[in-house]
Chains A and B, each alone.
Chain A
């Protein structure tokens, strides 16, 4: 194989990996949108909040330390213990479920039967609240996350691929981050679990029923409130997974909430209501971005990566507004 082609392969591979990371965020959006028709603007912030909570619990940070210190003049910041990653993750999960429960009780319950735009506005409010709340609770500094996921380039893969290059070339082998590989595996497991849940369990079925026709769901005795708590808990769980992956990759910082914007084109591509669509959409965006940067970038002076996804999304809106895997709109006359 010539070096040119290997370089292309490497770009595709890294694009796929980046795509998986986008897909993880897009998944959370798709879940909530499918079940309740709400575009949850706060999904990115939920990922941030989950990551903050996870790091906070793991390192034994005192929540609201700044607030407590300011009011009581104390100097607390850490409890002085560290939790194993597994326990911290479980704790964060409990927090995310509690969050779902509270959000349903305090906000969604009062907005039953309102226009989708009003619910959307509520999620914008939630995004800003949660960002501020996360700041207040855990502090605004950038924190490293270490939950034991291997990271750094894989030397094994580098060695393997170096062999593929023709004799005498100065090709060093492909770079693949181990973290990205883990993320890909996690994404596959997560999606399989979610699909199995929504296809084969009673709650999954109820969830899809609510998505189709919430009045009818109400009439057959499906409690919308229970379903909403379930959906937001699952979205919280997905946010936690995304938060862990992104946090481990680039540190837990507030710009994490902006990855939500990258999920938008992924959703338009894959279809807002499709779980597999979120994954495939993410992969296409990831690969497309990297390839465009490599081949078209030099022609226009680079930085294509930043806007390429949105252009692709725009094309899709023109020609296939329901996305690749979006549910066909069934209409009988």
Chain B
């Protein structure tokens, strides 16, 4: 762990987002300057309430915004030092950046195994390599192996989440953008999934950018966290530091500090990077 921390500080980040602004439908400003970076091999959490802009940030990175009439109007995003704006989503997947969308989005009428295989769509290697990776995914998610021939639409929420993560894994990613993996799952299952994600990160070297509402669990696994509020990063820091931060505790972890405080007294965090900085 210590070694990894040193390595990440020196190497250039895998992903860098600089002050991006995102507008939907030409009028609705959703992100108002978000910056973040994900080091190679790191787990970074993007936290915040509903509508804070977590999903939009992830979609801006994976270039899925176009399909929803969204657009990055300012700032830039670099994956491995290269601007992503000019790359199509499939090109990005081929280069190793894949998103697991909020709400799983499995292909309901395909079997679990077929779902996994679609993840390998952009790969050009032969069937043997893909078969090996299929076994690898099954080794992380043994439950999927049992259900390999069931239609994904009939599997449980947890199995669908596993299928979605496994499917992303089949593209041999360097980085997975994981959107709200805990959504609608029992706490025990959430724990199980986060544990597997951590294993993937350590054993397969996959970097993770995680968007979560469940601040508590996300900060236990992430080395670094960013807190988004209405389209801005209001606070960021190491996972551990954030977990101990009084304001975070109060507003996101639900464990109030000394006495009840009013919102008005909370100090405002300045954005770390300003426009045109």
Contacts and interface: CB of A to CB of B under 8 A. Distances in A.
Interface of A: 112-113, 202, 205-206, 208-209, 211-213, 215-223, 327, 330, 332
A218 B151 contact: no
26 contacts: A113-B67, A113-B68, A205-B114, A205-B117, A205-B118, A209-B107, A209-B110, A209-B114, A212-B110, A213-B105, A213-B106, A216-B105, A216-B106, A218-B89, A218-B90, A220-B93, A220-B118, A220-B167, A221-B89, A221-B90, A221-B93, A221-B94, A221-B121, A222-B121, A330-B154, A332-B153
B171 A220 contact: yes
B64 A212 contact: no
Contact residues of A: prevailing secondary structure? helix
A205 B130 CA distance: 15
Contacts of A112: 67
Interface string B92-125: 1110001111000111111000110111011000
Nearest to B119: A220
Contacts of A219: 62, 64, 89, 93, 98-101, 105
Contact of B64 (A202, A205, A209, A215): A215
A253 B114 CA distance: 43
Contacts of B168: 220
A333 to B, nearest CB: 11
Closest 7 CB pairs of A and B: A221-B93, A330-B153, A216-B105, A221-B122, A212-B107, A221-B90, A223-B90
Contacts of A202: 117, 121
A31 to B, nearest CB: 15
B218 to A, nearest CB: 21
B105 to A, nearest CB: 4
Interface residues of B, number: 35
B271 to A, nearest CB: 29
A165 B69 CA distance: 70
A220 B121 contact: yes
Nearest to A203: B121
B98 A221 contact: yes
A330 B64 contact: no
A113 B105 contact: no
B139 interface: no
B101 A216 contact: yes
A113 B70 CA distance: 12
A225 to B, nearest CB: 9
Interface in B51-107: 62, 64, 67-69, 88-90, 92-94, 98-101, 105-107
Interface in B161-207: 167-168, 171
A205 B68 CA distance: 24
A276 to B, nearest CB: 15
Contacts of B109: 208, 211-212, 327, 330
B110 A205 contact: yes
A332 B103 CA distance: 13
A202 B117 CA distance: 8
